[in-house]
């Protein structure tokens, strides 16, 4: 059913729940998983500042890939850097580039004002996606 799954992870604890959902799904369908972690940056005055250190971003990606491979799932991945407002576009572009037939991400619950001022990454990706999107909520 799903041959190529794109799993977008961030540095939050939600990635563990998304990984726990994707692993048996990939095992069941014999899917390969392409993991994407976008290290966000922000523009402050005339400088672009990393919100996440490169070493931490690499660790998030490597830990996710290791967990998938240890479970016997064929997995590869990439670390991207993007302005915070362009993270949804970076994830969508990666999904198209690898010809994913399922996107998996974890939405984060935010307060009303925050969600009104900056749209959610998962909502923006789901809205633009041309393939099914599985939103795995944070574990309770």
Q: What pLDDT digit, counting tens, does each position of 20-69 carry?
A: 999 999 999 999 999 999 998 888 888 888 888 889 999 999 999 999 99
Collapsed DSSP state (helix, strand, coil) of residue 34: strand
Q: What is the model's pLDDT at position 116?
A: 44
pTM equals 0.86
Question: Which token pair is 9?
Answer: 């992870």
Is residue 112 predicted with pLDDT exceeding 50? Answer: no
Task: Give the span between the Cα atoms of 72 and 11, in whole angstroms.
Answer: 23
- Compute the mean pLDDT over every residue in the chain, rounded to the nearest whole number: 87
CB-CB contact of 39 with 51 (8 Å): yes
Collapsed DSSP state (helix, strand, coil) of residue 133: strand
Considering the segment(s) 4-135 as one domain, its CATH architecture is: 3-Layer(aba) Sandwich (3.40)
């Amino acid at each position: 059913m799903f041959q190529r799954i794109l799993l977008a992870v961030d540095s939050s604890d939600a990635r563990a729940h998304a990984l726990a959902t994707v692993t048996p799904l990939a095992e069941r369908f014999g899917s390969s998983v392409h993991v994407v972690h976008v290290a966000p940056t922000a523009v402050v005055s005339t400088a672009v500042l990393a919100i996440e250190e490169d070493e931490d971003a690499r660790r998030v990606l490597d830990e996710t890939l290791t967990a998938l491979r240890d479970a016997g799932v064929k997995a590869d991945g990439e670390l991207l850097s993007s302005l915070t407002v362009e993270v949804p576009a970076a994830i969508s572009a990666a999904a198209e580039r690898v010809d994913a037939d399922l996107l998996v991400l974890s939405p984060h619950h935010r307060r009303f004002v925050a969600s009104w001022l900056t749209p959610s990454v998962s909502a923006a990706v789901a809205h633009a996606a041309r393939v099914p999107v599985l939103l795995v909520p944070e574990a309770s």
